[in-house]
Structure 1
């Protein structure tokens, strides 16, 4: 059973929703994006037993934060826009804000976010690579990365190449794609708003979600087709070793969101300097305990290490999007073997 201070990030949100009860939790989830609902559901399913004291502690923390962040004197619409933009980032928050404030329904593209990655891959696998690239650019990076797993390697590489070259989209073309997807999914159309789609940064974010084998394979294909574009994508990529460049305050914020088990697994595959970076931003007692845990852990599978490092990178990216930390510039050299 976890101690009160072991609940971090999604776990605290999961405990809060379970404490609210089914009806109230459902009302909260109505205002979350699809992937957020999926992540919360997974966290809730993995919680195990939660004591009354633990639940009360999470509720008390939530109430205290709510009291400190009152919206009194601020217009509801203004507060909502500000809060969601800080939480999700500008691009991700826009469609959700429009649905809440203006009652818009999910579009065809938006409905894709509720599908399992395998189902999305089945839906688009016969489409032109340019269409696949457009769909991938609209999904969140972790979901797009999972979709790529279910596409043939050549098709996945071709789609990423086109996505990296993508620089916006004409509204008419976007509406046509949206309408086609709505017809396939039998959705109701209320339009879709997308400011910018694709480009090297989006391609890099998706590649960061893949395992090293698939990521390296796609990067080799990109380099064979367009070396300049491949360099732009690589410059945007952020890998685990790049956390050495994160400032101490951001590192401390990041550490508060990472579970002990995930951190132990991730650091089993880290170099000495990066380990010290993490340890140096912990209390003396916590650092000593972590050192002991690392020694006691013994050998672990490389796949487990990579999965833990990927999880930490996803947390870091989320915190940066919310404006809570700064990751700084990424290092292209981190990908050179």
Structure 2
């Protein structure tokens, strides 16, 4: 393997990069007393800098460690990356703490707990926070982006939201130990549970894929799967949400759906639907609106099955979006269990 190219000796390192290079050069034996003096935030920031440092020229290392020039004069440089950082931290810190730090460095959801929260859906975050003490919720929301905090507040019951707002207005600087306890609670209770719950059942994932098929492709795959693994095929069919499942919406739900549904797509979707589904939708419309829709359906003539599938899929996806935002509730194909999006 070819050696890594060294950085120029005149490379300008930031203060945090200089500290990272020194800690990497000191290693476990000489660095342990220094690590023990750092607080949680300093460890995270220094670890992040170490993981992205890259190759460092030997001359730069020697300049940084001038007090150790005798022992460092023969050094061949060092490389700061994620793996070397984790190896060093493992020798110095408890495993749980190392895992937390490295998760923040590697994780796509953000380097800090607060950045991770910014990637959580507001409905999910609000469901968790509504069971917490209002003062804790006020601290959490004060650390989020204004637009995200606003969306979470809008989901809370009015009295609870108002209490939180008042506490945010009266809030002074939060003590470091209190903030750290809240972060630890969020990490151990909320983010950990969220990570476990986000592991999707493969049957659920496949049901979503089948929902995206056109009718002929769906039938072909289900037929083959029933021959090879009937139990899995039955499970997928139970989990699939189809156009006919819209018939299980309550009156308020279907009216919400009709309010947002494109009229032309609704007409095409019902053109290829059963009479039961036509009656269901039109029964939730005014007499004038249902007559206009029926006229549109009768006037369009023959419609390709592919266009019907596409229009029905649009309505199904719209229903899922409305369910995800908490505006309607929908149920599965063959059961009474509510789908939570």
For the pair shown, the structure with the greater C-alpha radius of gyration is 2
Give the TM-score normalised by the residue count of structure 1.
0.42
Larger RCO of the pair (alpha carbons < 8 Å, separation 6+): 1
Give the TM-score normalised by the residue count of structure 2.
0.42
